[in-house]
Amino acid sequence: MTTTTSRNDLELSLLRTFIAVVRHGSMGRTAAAVAKTQPAVSQQMARLETIIGRKLFYRSRGGVRLMSHGELLVEYAHRAIDLNEEVLQQLREESASGPVRLGISEETALAGLTLALKQFQKAHPAVELKLIAAAPAELEVLLAQGKLDFAIGDPTRIADEPVFQWTIPLSLACQQRSFDRSVQGPATRTL
């Protein structure tokens, strides 16, 4: 049996880029965050708008704003991506269960980890996630004592060699009198 894909089906890669554009607020910032060119991101969003048959964004020099159809698509895009992850995990028999002790440094807890933890719990409902927020030195001791299964923190502040690293965008805002404008740059920090 041959399977064909309709040119009008929503593609997960387009939905992932759409969510990134919503998160970052512009095609340029999204391109930098997802390691694509700005024209590639714009082309993906144009393709998504063609498939849907509606405009999703108001575009301006300052970035993008969602139109009503874009606002509606956000929730569906998240659900489609989550469902895709759940199906793949079930089919690949990657389900985990039991307690997992996760230590995170206090500064990492503030770096947007909440969404990732919610997605993990959704994908692995049988896992009892025990979260411990502590200073890096304390995390190091807990790891050495076997009281943590994993730790997430700044690798420059924990002596053990990291198993996995990722980069997050940083933003800086300051008082108006300190600078002429608030600063938001492409700086990143490896955790």
pLDDT at 153: 75
Q: Which residues are registered as beta bridge partners of 40?
A: none
- Report how far Cα 151 is from the mean position of its chain's Cα atoms: 19
In the chain, the percentage of residues whose pLDDT exceeds 90 is 32
pLDDT tens, residue by residue, 73-123: 999 999 999 888 878 877 776 556 777 777 777 766 555 667 777 777 777
User: Going from the N-terminus, what domains does the chain have, and what CATH number goes with each?
Assistant: 12-90 (1.10.10.10), 96-164 (3.40.190.10)
- For residue 183, CA distances in Å to 33, 81, 111, 174, 178 come to 17, 32, 18, 7, 11
Q: Which tokens is 72 given?
A: 């509606």
pLDDT at 94: 55
What average pLDDT does the segment 49-70 reach?
A: 93
| DSSP 3-state of 4 | coil
pLDDT at 78: 92
